[in-house]
Amino acid sequence: MDFDQLRAFYTVAQTKNFTKAAELLHLVQSTVTTRIKQLEATIGKPLFIRDKRSVEITQAGQALLPYAERILKLAQEGLSEVAALNPYEDRLSIGSLDSIWSFLLEPILKEYHLRYPRIAVRTKTGHSSDVIQYLLDHLIQIGIVYIPPALPNFEVIPFYEEEIVLVASADHPLARIGMIDVSEIASLPLLFVNWGQPFQQWFSQILPPGYVPKLQVDKAQLAIDLVKEGVGVSLMTRSAVETELSQGTLIHVEISGSKPPKRSAYVVLPRDKKNRPSVEKWLSLMREFGYSLNEDIGSVDRDGG
Question: Can you tell me the distance from the alpha carbon of 143 to that of 72, in angstroms, rounded to the nearest whole number?
Answer: 21
pLDDT level of residue 86 (50, 70, 90 thresholds): low
- Give the tens place of pLDDT for each residue, 265-275: 999 999 988 88
Q: Give the predicted TM-score (pTM) of the model.
A: 0.64
Question: For the chain, which residues make up each domain, given as ranges?
Answer: 3-72, 85-161+264-304, 164-261
pLDDT band at 139 (very low <50, low <70, confident <90, very high): confident
> CA 264 → CA 118, 138, 146, 198, 297, distances in Å?
32, 24, 6, 10, 8
**pLDDT of 119-138, one tens digit each?**
999 999 998 889 999 998 88
Separation of first and last alpha carbons in the chain? 51
Q: What is the DSSP string of 38-63?
A: HHHHHHTS-SEEE-SS-EEE-HHHHH
Q: Could you read off the pLDDT of 90-127 as tens digits, one per residue?
A: 889 999 998 899 889 999 999 999 999 999 999 999 98
CATH class name, domain 164-261: alpha beta
Q: Phi, psi at residue 180, to the nearest 5°?
A: -150, 145
Tell me the CATH architecture of domain 3-72. Answer: Orthogonal Bundle (1.10)
CATH of domain 85-161+264-304: 3.40.190.10
- Which tens digit of pLDDT belongs to each residue from 218-245? 888 999 999 999 999 999 999 899 999 9
- In sequence order, what are the residues at sequence separation of 6 or more whose Cβ sits closer than 8 angstroms to the Cβ of residue 237? 99, 103, 162, 163, 164, 165, 195, 220, 263
- The model's pLDDT over 13-69, given as tens digits with 9 standing for 90+, comes to 999 989 899 999 999 999 999 999 999 999 999 999 987 778 899 999 999 998 888
Same fold, 3-72 and 85-161+264-304: no
- Confidence at residue 1, expressed as pLDDT on a 0 to 100 scale: 64
